[in-house]
Amino acid sequence: MVTMKKAGGRMNSKWKVVRVLCALLFVAVSAPADQARAVTADADNDGWVSLIPEGGDELTGWTNDNKSKPDHWKLIDGVIIGENPQKKGSVLWTDKSYGDYELIVEYRTPSKDYDSGVFLRGKSHQVQIGISRSLKKDLTGALYCPVDGKGGYPIQPDEKIKKAHRLGEWNTLRMVTKGKQITTYLNGVEINDYTADKYPDEGRIGLQLHAKVHMKMEFKTVKVRPIGE
């Protein structure tokens, strides 16, 4: 009986050693993976600030300029949704103003006809999303800035837009504004590289629903990264 106890004790000791070695191996394997995830997270958030509120359904940090149509803009499951069934126009403005920055907007629409856009520093210069009411064609990514006196849309690269725009799918608009220079990209394709004339030093960012057309716009990403700060 004594011999059996000793054997059992030796077996228990061996199992303890095995468990300790397994635990150490798990830590060694897990640590690099955790470190990699941390680095990736830092890279993804390198100076970027999301303008979409996290949690809840309140559009904190934004203001709808059409007080008579508060239902135009909603936050649902982390996506900003704009819809105007009455065909009235409105703009959802950030409460904060911005100067030089890079802006990324990911949007999608199920609407066949839509006229939306992104205002960069107030209403003077807007990046078009969808079909221009005046020109009756898709000018997504093109700047609308009649204030400069060079026509409503100074640069109209129709073929580039036609090839880059993914109708009915998620699209990515990237906008860089520094000083009076504005560069826009649609799904990685440069659409406009433009030097503005009458362009304020800073202003609020706005998401637009144009009047006279019923549309539904979905914005799942709106993030900004200041330049030169």
Residue count of the chain: 229
pLDDT at position 228 is: 86
DSSP 3-state of 107: strand
pLDDT at position 207 is: 98
Per the CB < 8 A criterion, the answer to whether 111 and 96 are in contact is: no
Average pLDDT over residues 48-75: 95
Greater confidence, 43 or 143?
Answer: 143
Domain span holding position 40: 1-46
Joined tokens for residue 201: 């030093």
Per the CB < 8 A criterion, the answer to whether 144 and 128 are in contact is: yes
- DSSP classification of residue 89: -
86-120: pLDDT as tens digits: 999 999 999 999 999 999 999 999 999 999 999 99
Q: What is the CA radius of gyration of the chain?
A: 26
pLDDT band at 229 (very low <50, low <70, confident <90, very high): low
Per the CB < 8 A criterion, the answer to whether 121 and 203 are in contact is: yes
32-50: pLDDT as tens digits: 333 333 322 333 558 999 9
Tally the domains of the chain.
Answer: 2
Both 56 and 154 in one domain: the answer is yes
Instruction: Residue 215: give its domain's CATH number.
Output: 2.60.120.560
Both 83 and 66 in one domain: the answer is yes
| Chain mean pLDDT for the chain | 86
Both 60 and 103 in one domain: the answer is yes
Both 122 and 62 in one domain: the answer is yes
For residue 28, pLDDT over 90 is answered with no
171-199: pLDDT as tens digits: 999 999 999 999 999 999 999 999 999 99
- The structure's pTM equals 0.80
Phi and psi at 26, nearest 5°, equal -60, -45
Both 71 and 162 in one domain: the answer is yes
Greater confidence, 7 or 216?
Answer: 216
pLDDT band at 56 (very low <50, low <70, confident <90, very high): confident
Residue 69 and residue 214: Cα distance in Å, rounded? 14
Both 60 and 22 in one domain: the answer is no
Both 129 and 140 in one domain: the answer is yes
Q: What is the DSSP string of 36-63?
A: HHHHHHHHHTSS-EE-SPPSSS--TTEE
Both 200 and 105 in one domain: the answer is yes
Per the CB < 8 A criterion, the answer to whether 145 and 154 are in contact is: yes
Both 89 and 160 in one domain: the answer is yes
Both 85 and 198 in one domain: the answer is yes
